[in-house]
Structure 1
Amino acid sequence: MLEVAVVMRRERLHGPSSHWQPWRWTLEDVVPDEPAFGSAPRLLQDDEEVQRWLHPGFRVELFRDDTDGYRLNATTPAPGWFVLWRMEEEAGIAPEPIARPVVVSLSYSEAGRWLDAQENVDQVPAPPEVVQWLRAYVDEHHVDEPRRRKRPESFKPLVDRFGNAASVSTEKKRGRGAGDV
């Protein structure tokens, strides 16, 4: 298990779209948590162009049932942290709503599930010592699932759209045809 803190960044946008959206939130970094950070989010920088917020107190745990997701992350050219974050609904510790990290992970699969659920997910590179820790965990716990032979489609039973058995016939139907009068 690792204890980490998340740095979120609010940047001023320039150009035509800034009329509708003057700011954009992004993940800046994931750093080791330190006791000096305390337990509450705090403002690190505030000027006309950028705000940076430190959010301490996140635990990153690895679970044996997600080694596929860790392996995918560990074997990419740029392994990284995945952070799911949401906008606060109301102004809380700041005069305006801020982006609040919810969870931090090293699992590629978990990040994919968050994205499928249309959550805000950003990624930043993980430092070499974290990547080494992740790879060691994958090496120790990952077990390749044996591939099961997929049955060819031609051997599957035919069913209609309601799940009832269906049949196909090549016989010509008797009765009036297009040429019959």
Structure 2
Amino acid sequence: MTPVPSQPERPRIRVAVVIERVREPNRWQDWAFSIVDVVPDEPAFGAEPRVLRDDGRRCRTLYPGFELELFRDQAEGYHLNLSSGAPVWFVVWRIDDEDPSLAWPETVSLSYDEAGRWLDAQERVDNVPLTPDVAAWLQAYTDANYRPEPKQRRRPQSFVAPDRRG
């Protein structure tokens, strides 16, 4: 039996997400939520969400403990994010069905394709700008792993036999 070479560990970083909740942002809503920032996770943050600021109207909460791994099969999505001109974090978040004053982040990604699938599935997805150091880290990974599909020229349909037209 031939040993299978071990797969090199995937690049990963740990991050925390900051969500802001606003009470009665207008006369039609009781609560509004937004993703404010994605920051490097620090051991001092602990494992549980913690309120950073709450003045009764605006509340910012830090949610630590998200691990973001890069995958080769998402390299095209990373490339699309980076080539957009303004690369971002994509954050999926949810609101509690029973208590609409509570919301939390579910997952974090850097892949434009993955964010598109979440949006197609009717998920709540917000984005916040990447810092230059994370963008450079993602760019290095994408440069090493993304190979665009070669473009194939399609023959005009008028040159294809009628029984082979699609």
Q: State if a TM-score over 0.5 links the two structures.
A: yes
> What is the rounded CA distance, in whole Å, between the counterparts of 1:158 and 1:23 in structure 2?
59
Q: What is the aligned residue count?
A: 153
AA in 2 matched with 1:10: R
Counterpart among 2, 5, 14 of residue 3 in structure 1: 14
Shift of 1:97: 4.1
**Larger Rg computed on CA atoms:** 1
1:19-38 to 2 correspondence within 5 Å? Answer: 19-38=27-46
Superposed CA deviations along residues 11-31 of structure 1, whole A, max 9, x for unmatched, are 2344xxx23313210000000
What is the rounded CA distance, in whole Å, between the counterparts of 1:157 and 1:86 in structure 2? Answer: 51
SS of equivalent to 2:29: coil
Q: Which amino acid aligns with 1:133?
A: W
| 8 A contact 1:90–1:97 mirrored in 2 | no
**Structure 1 counterpart of 2:68, from 48, 60, 79:** 60
Which 4+ stretches in 1 moved above 4 angstroms? 156-159
CA contact (8 A) 2:16 2:65 kept: yes
Please provide the CA RMSD for this pair: 2.0
* 2:116 aligned partner: 112
SS at match of 2:92: strand
1:123 corresponds to 2:127: yes
| Distance apart, 1:57 and its partner CA | 0.5
Q: Which residues of structure 2 form unaligned runs of 5+? A: 1-11
Q: Taking every aligned residue pair, what percent have the same amino acid on both sides?
A: 53
Task: Tell me the TM-score normalised to structure 1 length.
Answer: 0.77
CA distance in 1, matches of 2:106, 2:163: 47
Select the structure that is richer in strand: 2
